[in-house]
Amino acid sequence: MSEPNSPGESRRGAPRFFVGCEDDESEVLEDSMRTDMELYEDDEDTDSPPERQIMVGICCMMKKSKSKPMTQILERLCRFEYITVVIFPEDVILNEPVDKWPLCDCLISFHSKGFPLDKAVSYAKLRNPLLINDLNMQYYIQDRREVYRILQEEGIDLPRYAVLNRDPDKPDECNLVEGEDHVEVNGEIFQKPFVEKPVCAEDHNVYIYYPTSAGGGSQRLFRKIGSRSSVYSPESSVRKTGSYIYEEFMPTDGTDVKVYTVGPDYAHAEARKSPALDGKVERDSEGKEVRYPVMLSAMEKLVARKVCLAFKQTVCGFDLLRANGHSYVCDVNGFSFVKNSMKYYDDCAKILGNIVMRELAPQFQIPWSIPTEAEDIPIVPTTSGTMMELRCVIAVIRHGDRTPKQKMKMEVRNPMFFDLFEKYGGYKTGKLKLKKPKQLQEVLDITRQLLAELGQHNDCEIEEKKSKLEQLKTVLEMYGHFSGINRKVQLTYLPHGQPKTSSEEEGMSI
C-alpha cells in the first residue's frame, strides 16, 4: 500500500469517504470537510475564495462499489488532501429521482447488471460533473456490433467477422447458409472452427464450433460457475434464434490477455487460461483464478491507448488475442479493475487523483501541481549480491550571463478575447495586463472552449492556432492554481494587423 504522505496526497491521517445523502445533508457534510489553507500572498488579489474539497461521486451498483478493488482504490484516492469521495447508495440510485442524488464535482459511474444507466445520464446532464468514464458510450459497449464497428473505424485489428441480424424489419441482414463444416453469413464464409457471439455484450454464452475432422460438436462458454467456464456439447448446428456475430477462430497459445487501462497512457495486462480449452478454471491455493503477468508490446500499448480514447472510458478493460504474430481485440468490457494487485491499486488511485486535481483544482483555486516522483532505484542482481546501475548521465547547460524569459506570443482574433479586453478597460490604453487568479482563469476558460470547438477542423490555419492554444492551455494549467505572481497575460490591441515586432515584446496581440 502506498505511503499516505506521498507527493500530492493528504496528510490528514486515515483516509475517509462516506455514503451519499440528500442534497441538504450533503451540503452540510461538504461544508464540514472543507479545510483552511495557507493563502498565497498576492498584492493584486486579496479576495480569493478559500480552498474547498473536491467531491468525487461513485455511482454504481453496491456489488461494485463495495468490491475489494473499488474499496482499495477509494481508500488511496481519499489520501489526496483536497479530495473527498461520496458513494451513492444503491437504494437512492434505483428509487430516488436524480435531483435527489448527492452532489459531486466529479462522477465515476458505470453500467452493470441492474444499473439504471438512463438515470445516470440524466444526472450528468443536470449536474454537469467531470466524467471519468463517458456515460453515453456505455450504451455502445453493451452491443457487440457497435463495439466492433468502433474498433474497425479506429483501425484496430480484430478477427474477421460478420453480423447476423434476425430483425424482421431488416431481412437483407439475415442470410444464413449452414454447411457441415462451414457457415455462410450474408455472403461471408467461415470455415470451422469459428466463434458465435450474441450481439448483447451482457450475454456471455459464446459458442465455438469444431470441424468434423476434430470430432465436431461445440464448446459452450459462459460466465464462471464455480470452477468451470465452458462445457463441451456434441451439437454442431448453430443457433437458429437471436442475432449473433460470427467470427474467425484465432489460434492462440491457450491464454487470453486481459488489458486494463487507467487513462490513455497506462495499461496493466495479465493472462489467464483460455476458457475454450477444457472449461476448467485454474485456481491457486486460496481459490483465486491464476493470472500471469504480461508485458505489452509497443503496438499493443498503442492499441490500449486507442481503445481508451475511442470509447471515452478512462478506466477500461478489454481482451486481446495473440495469434499468428499479431494481437487482435475481441471484446471491450468497459469499466474494469485488476484484482489482487497492490501495485495496480496504487497506480490507479494516483492517476485518477491526478486527473481530478488537474481538471478541477484551477477551477476551485486549489494550490496543487502534479507531483514528480523519483524513479525507483535501479537495483540489478550480480554474482556477489546487488548493486546500483548507472543508466545515463544528463547535463543541462545554458548561457549564464542573464536570466532567460519564459514567454509565449500569439495573435488572437476571437470575439471572446475582445470581450475580455473591453471588460477590464483595455481600450483606454490599448494594452492590458491580467495577473489576478480570476482573470487568468477566464483566459483559461476561453482557451478550453476554443480548443473544444476547433477539435473537428483540419485546415492548416486552424491547426496552427490550435497548437498555440494548446500551448497557452498548458502554461495556464501549470502548478494547478493561480497565485498572481508566477504568470501573467498581456494583451495588446493591434487595429491595423500584426506589425514587425522585437524580441522584447511579450503576451498576446488582438
Fold of 252-336: D-amino Acid Aminotransferase; Chain A, domain 1 (3.30.470)
pLDDT value of position 112: 93
| pLDDT for residue 46 | 44
pLDDT for 52: 80
CATH superfamily to which 160-249 belongs:
ATP-grasp fold, B domain (3.30.470.20)
SS3 letters for 163-187?
A: EECCCCCCHHHCCEEECCCEEEECC
Cβ(105)–Cβ(83) below 8 Å: no
Specify the CATH architecture of the domain 51-131+341-367: 3-Layer(aba) Sandwich (3.40)
pLDDT in the model for residue 286: 66
Look at strands 194-198 and 244-248 and give their pairing: antiparallel
The pLDDT of residue 396: 84
Could you tell me if 250 and 161 are in contact, meaning their C-beta atoms sit under 8 angstroms apart?
Answer: no
pLDDT for 22 equals: 45
Domain chopping of the chain, boundaries:
51-131+341-367, 160-249, 252-336, 415-457+464-492
Beta bridge partners of 432: 491
Predicted pLDDT of residue 401:
66
Q: What is the pLDDT of residue 153?
A: 96
The tens-digit pLDDT sequence of the chain (510 residues) is 444 444 444 444 444 555 555 444 444 333 433 333 333 334 444 454 556 899 999 999 999 999 999 999 999 999 998 999 999 999 999 999 999 999 999 999 999 999 999 999 999 999 999 999 999 999 999 999 999 999 999 999 999 999 999 988 888 888 999 999 999 999 999 999 999 999 999 999 999 999 999 999 999 998 888 888 889 999 999 999 999 999 999 988 778 899 999 999 999 999 988 877 766 777 776 667 788 888 999 999 999 999 999 999 999 999 999 988 899 999 999 999 998 889 999 999 999 999 999 999 988 888 877 665 544 444 445 555 555 667 788 888 876 666 667 788 888 888 888 888 888 888 888 888 888 888 888 888 898 888 888 876 665 555 557 888 888 888 888 877 776 567 888 889 888 766 655 444 446 665
Quote the pLDDT of residue 96. Answer: 96
Are 126 and 104 within 8 A, CB to CB? no
Identify the pLDDT of residue 392: 83
Domains 160-249 and 252-336 share a fold: yes
Residue 507's pLDDT is 60
Nearest partner of 497 among 413, 426, 417, 433, judged by Cα: 413
The grid coordinates of residue 503 equal: 524580441
> Residue for cell digits 545554458?
398
Determine contact, residues 242/233, Cβ cutoff 8 Å: no
